[in-house]
Amino acid sequence: MRVMERTFREQLCFLLLSVSVLRGGCRSLENNEISNEFYSLFNPEPRRDSPDAFMYRRALRCMDMVAVEGQFTFTAETPHLSCATFLMAEPSELISVEVDRVDIDCSGGDFITVFDGWVMKGEKFPSSQDHPLPLYERYVDYCDGAPARRTVRASQNVAMVFFRVHSAGSSFTLTVRKHVNLFPCNAISQSPEGSYTMVIPQQRRNCSFSILYPVAIDISEFSLGRHGSFPKRKMPGCAESEDFVQLLGGNGIDTSKLLPITDLCVSFTGPTHMKIACDNTVVRMVSSGSFVSRVSFSYRALDSQELQTIKLNNVEDFCFNN
């Protein structure tokens, strides 16, 4: 179990290292020997300056992370049976990916599958509970052949491409684009610090904002409005409320498997400040659809001294205990 957890943590760090804004450290990696290749695998990538002048292009690796728009071409020199590309944009963006110039052997067992979200260690983000589509619709397989489905627009700022190719010389190109998302629901933070306001505009749905670092988090506001104003009637407490905010923590990415740290109801007067030494901290807002729900928070990664302090008083934090 310990080994699995460490591996999961390393995998998260591995992914997040590639996002050039990373400033905090990944605690579990500090004392491990990591080859230079591990770090140099993902150099910061240049941003595209003008939208149509040219596209950034580079080769795609079997395990890769893409956080910029551009064209990414995979060319196999040997069989690659288990490859994955993690795609990521800003929380206020949607990511789309087009698969083209494909030279693979679908009938020989090769595949390219785009997933609407991320999958790690069998866990999914967004969780099946919070995603607008049923699970089977979140997988789009290139080899199914419907050309209209060669461009997949994800429902949030993260998506993923799995692929397998058996013969040398097989190749394909991914074109990754970012789009403005007017009402972002689920998102993974690209950065270990920032601030965010999540709004659910009178819809019956639940949204999660996930931060894949141990963090100090401040929730400054949680409000319910209708047509921009506060509800007149007195709201019940959390227990009966259909509208509330949960702070969740744990070591996987599936928000439905995380443990609740605290619930905030409409009686919340804020601000609340917490330090959470989990690999994944999530702010999840549950909305009945009766109100315009809004939650605002800011966060930053915990430093190693803060983590040490929490570890020493580990009653405070269950992520070190489980």
**Residues lying near ligand NAG in the complex (CB under 6 A):** 129, 204-206, 286
- Minimum CB separation from ligand NAG for residue 321, in Å? 24
d(CA 219, CA 139): 34
As a residue count, the chain comes to 322
Between 113 and 206, CB nearer to ligand NAG: 206
Between 186 and 189, CB nearer to ligand NAG: 186
Between 220 and 288, CB nearer to ligand NAG: 288
CA nearest neighbour of 124 among 294, 256, 319? 256
- Using only C-alpha atoms, the chain has a radius of gyration, in whole angstroms, of 21
> Which amino acid is located at 79 in the chain?
P
Between 205 and 294, CB nearer to ligand NAG: 205
- Minimum CB separation from ligand NAG for residue 242, in Å? 8
Using CA of residue 278, residue 280, residue 283, residue 289, what is the dihedral sign? negative
- Minimum CB separation from ligand NAG for residue 196, in Å? 20
d(CA 182, CA 282): 21
Check: CB of residue 243 under 8 Å from CB of residue 268.
no
Q: Which residue is nearest to ligand NAG (CB)?
A: 206
- Minimum CB separation from ligand NAG for residue 130, in Å? 7
Between 75 and 256, CB nearer to ligand NAG: 256
CB atoms near residue 313 (< 10 Å): 9
- Minimum CB separation from ligand NAG for residue 249, in Å? 16
